Amino acid sequence: MIGMDKIREAAEEIGGIVHRTPVLTSMRLNELAGNEVYLKGEHLQKTGTFKIRGASNKVLKAVRGGASHVVAASSGNHGQAVAYIAGKSGIQATIVVPEDASPVKISAIEAYGGRVVRCGLTSAERIPEALRIAKESGGVFVPPYDDPDIIAGQGTTGMEIISQVPGCEAVFVPVGGGGLAAGIVCAIKQLNPDILVIGVEPEMADDTKRSLEAGTRVAIGPSGTIADGLRTSIPGELTFPILQKHLDLLITVSEKEIAEACTILFQASKQVVEPSGAVSVAGLLSGKSGIAGRKTVAVLSGGNVSPQGFSEILKA
């Protein structure tokens, strides 16, 4: 577990960079979920996702250590965050993305000044390529999730939830590589171990579910889930043991459930949330957790989706 001292240190480090994102409510969502629901709006965060928290914590430390170039592997959101904070710090950023990366996310990386390199379809392909580029260029590799500074940065989300939603009883959080879920579970279980932390993963990218069932990290092949930010092929070496020990429950949701969650969030709360960010609400609404009548938080982890892409989701 990442200690609260490290998470509080991260909060101090990134305090001048990130937003303290709002918590939103919706009477309609309460009715549909059968819970008192609070939405943690990380889709309103700088660069459009929670990723700026961990990226800023890691990159700012690297800059103080003399780094002039950072390299990341990302399906899009982490890359945007790294490119953003690198640009603000006056250093170069190279982002290795999958061949099928979202055009809107590629455009954002380039707009922040990042150089884009395409490689493969899975994290198992792009991470080694990013490590190779970092080694050859003398740059610092900024992992998407498997790093103590990244996890601590994401854990600041959990700190905010505790202070913003007094009496919170359960938190639903998206699971991809596990950085956000690990950070949140570390913060929440140390601040209030009675709060349930429930991970939600797409059925089509269920590497964490399979790994928890097997008791060890299990790799899967490329995924075509609409939740493109959660298309990891294997849980992280650091994040998986944290989730394995401290996550109360992990549930999976279908593509239909994810699309319906995006639609409900738009209709009931007027929020544009990307599929990866809406899986938490999909999990909550699915009823698979058995949670009812609780004061519940769903983390909306991102909002980076093109108008065309979002329109297609609403039609689904």
Catalytic residues: 51, 301
CA-to-CA separations, 227 to 99, 101, 231, 285, in angstroms, rounded: 16, 12, 7, 17
Residue with tokens 């959990």: 158
**40 and 183 Cβ atoms separated by less than 8 Å:** no
